[in-house]
Amino acid sequence: MGPPPYKCGADDCENGRTYSSRKALKLHFLYHVVPPENAQKCTKCSKYFPSAAQLKKHVGDKHPTHKWKCACGKAFWHNKSLKSHIAKSKDGGHRPEE
């Protein structure tokens, strides 16, 4: 299978990036046309995004946080995992962090 058919032609694009769909290229192109004063900045890595929705997706993908924490310091993606961790603890010192 050859390279993806949709290539970014913007002068400031790194290596003329290619995309597998027209929609993906269109989203990418927003990075070139959104004025810097309207861009959304990630507070964790200082990258800029053309929309709040794309910033939110970036943060979820690149900087995820564990929502459920135990008093012992371990953190979990799901409440069910935290409950299982607490149920398995032998010393009784495990409880949801407050």
50-92: pLDDT as tens digits: 888 888 888 888 887 878 888 888 888 888 988 898 888 877 6
Has this prediction a pTM greater than 0.85?
Answer: no
The chain-wide mean pLDDT, for the chain, equals 80
CATH number at residue 53: 3.30.160
| Mean pLDDT value of segment 22-26 | 83
Are 32 and 54 in the same domain? Answer: yes
Are 54 and 73 in the same domain? Answer: no
Residue 24 in domain: yes
CB neighbour burial string for 2-33, b if at least 16 within 10 angstroms, e if fewer: eeeebebeeeeeeeeeebeeeeebeebbebee
- Percentage of residues in the chain having pLDDT higher than 90: 1
- Assess contact for 51 and 64: CB atoms under 8 A: no
Are 17 and 58 in the same domain? Answer: yes
Residue 40 in domain: yes
pLDDT at residue 15 above 80? no
Domain that holds residue 19: 6-62
